[in-house]
Amino acid sequence: MLERLRQVAAARRELDELGIDPFGIPIERVYAPTEGQVNGRRTILAGTNNYLGLTFDPECLAAARDALEREGTGTTGSRMANGTYPGHLALEREFAEFYGRRYAIVFSTGYQANLGVLGTLAAPGEVALIDADSHASIYDGCRLGGADIIRFRHNSAEDLEKRLRRLGERARGALVVVEGLYSMLGDRAPLTDIAEVKRRHGAYLAVDEAHSLGVFGEQGRGVSEEAGVEADVDFVVGTFSKSLGATGGFCVSDRKELSLLRYASRPYIFTAAPSPSVVASTRVALRSIRERPGLRARLWSNARRLYAALQEMGYRLGPEPSPVIAVVLESKTQALDTWRGLLERGVYVNLMLPPATPNGVSLLRCSMSAAHTPEQIDAISKAFAEIREAAPA
């Protein structure tokens, strides 16, 4: 039984030799959304998902503090038992309103939102067609449900079409699951084409907008809004843990069956409801997406600035500028060296190695925030430039 864990140790040996754990590095102090202390050094945080920089937003903090004082530190119970407070219901109403949908349901994490929604919809006898680069929670949700899982080529509406066609009668009512923005390479799903294919075959479509809420679309509703295909999206899933700066997950839909998840979904029922302070700050953050489009504009200006600078230096990047900027390196060793070099220069980004990455690539994932200052973006660029100069690819 323990042999499985010993295999993990073997896989980690080369990382252990570094003397620093890239996958468990503590942020020793947090000064601001984009600044902390790592390895005793003041460091720019460019590897978070704090897209709108709201984790220290004064209004979010005040709402959280107030809820903490009024309702305590935790709910200590499931939504189905003692864990539903007025804040949970208000947040569900506000998610529904924000997306212009009839129903919304809140979960304790985004991971659980996918487990809860997909684990219930993708039941035995059903078919789930999922993008090959899907997040683990999408795989796990479909596996939990017990549906037949078919992977289609990443971002290929053509391959999806082919696989639906092969299903014959079973295509009608099959569930297609994609993400809005993919978090490894920072590329968007071709939702116009996917929606067209889904419509033609009479399938359902679920879009996980985890990384795109607050980032894309005129109102910040995500890639589905930007592509103008919201009417084709049957279920939108998302998280509080990125643009909303907290912890939790949600699903919205016009399908009244969504509400029945409350009685059928184990990841909804058998876990404690989000803490009151989390719900309170999330409500304010959601309002900020609506009312403060300037945050989105700043985020995009930062993203474009860094993407252009890295491109100019000759780094190999993800296919398009977005708040997730992937720097693809030649090898694991080069990725590790670059990651460490950045850290020594006071810049933290995410190191991503296979098997967690698409197509076995090694990459550094820089994620931008509306809270990064132009000076911070320039400091990140400078660190990358110095490393490039020291060891040109």
Ligand X SMILES: Cc1ncc(COP(=O)(O)O)c(C=O)c1O
List contacts with ligand X (CB under 6 A). 109-111, 114, 135, 137, 179, 183, 208, 210-211, 239, 241, 249
Going by their DSSP bridges, the two strands 35-38 and 103-107 should be labelled as: unpaired
Going by their DSSP bridges, the two strands 249-253 and 127-131 should be labelled as: unpaired
Nearer CB in complex with ligand X: 53/381: 53
Smallest gap, in angstroms, from Cβ of residue 13 to ligand X? 26
Burial class (CB in 10 A: 0-12, 13-18, 19+), 91: buried
Q: Taking CB positions, which residue lies at the least distance from ligand X?
A: 110
Q: Annotated catalytic, 183?
A: yes
| Maximum distance among all Cα pairs of the chain, rounded to whole angstroms | 61
**Residue (of 185, 159, 180) closest to 227 by Cα position:** 180
Going by their DSSP bridges, the two strands 350-352 and 324-329 should be labelled as: unpaired
Smallest gap, in angstroms, from Cβ of residue 165 to ligand X? 27
**For the chain, how many residues are written?**
393
Beta bridge partners of 152: 131
Catalytic-labelled residue, pool 134, 137, 183, 224: 183
Non-local (6+) Cβ contacts of 93 within 8 A are 104
Do the beta carbons of residue 269 and residue 115 sit within 8 Å? no
Q: What sign for the dihedral angle of Cα 252, 256, 259, 265? A: negative
Buried-exposed string 219-246: b where 16+ CB fall within 10 A, e elsewhere: bbbbbbbbbebbebbbbbbbbbbbbbbb
Buried-exposed string 268-288: b where 16+ CB fall within 10 A, e elsewhere: beebebbbbbbbbbbbbbbeb
Smallest gap, in angstroms, from Cβ of residue 85 to ligand X? 20
Q: Annotated catalytic, 135?
A: no
Non-local (6+) Cβ contacts of 149 within 8 A are 122, 128, 130, 139, 142, 143
Nearer CB in complex with ligand X: 198/211: 211
Nearer CB in complex with ligand X: 47/110: 110
Q: Annotated catalytic, 212?
A: no
Please report where in the chains the tokens 């780094």 appear, as a residue.
Answer: 315
Burial class (CB in 10 A: 0-12, 13-18, 19+), 160: buried
Pairwise CA distance, residues 57 & 87, whole Å: 19
Smallest gap, in angstroms, from Cβ of residue 151 to ligand X? 15
Nearer CB in complex with ligand X: 195/278: 278
Catalytic-labelled residue, pool 88, 135, 198, 242: 242
Nearer CB in complex with ligand X: 186/387: 186
Nearer CB in complex with ligand X: 248/321: 248
Smallest gap, in angstroms, from Cβ of residue 378 to ligand X? 28
Smallest gap, in angstroms, from Cβ of residue 155 to ligand X? 14
Catalytic-labelled residue, pool 88, 198, 201, 211: 211
Smallest gap, in angstroms, from Cβ of residue 185 to ligand X? 13
Q: CA separation (Å) from 331 to 9, 124, 260, 327, 362?
A: 21, 41, 48, 12, 6
Nearer CB in complex with ligand X: 135/305: 135
Pairwise CA distance, residues 33 & 61, whole Å: 13
Nearer CB in complex with ligand X: 153/170: 153
Smallest gap, in angstroms, from Cβ of residue 107 to ligand X? 8
Catalytic residue annotation? 183, 211, 242
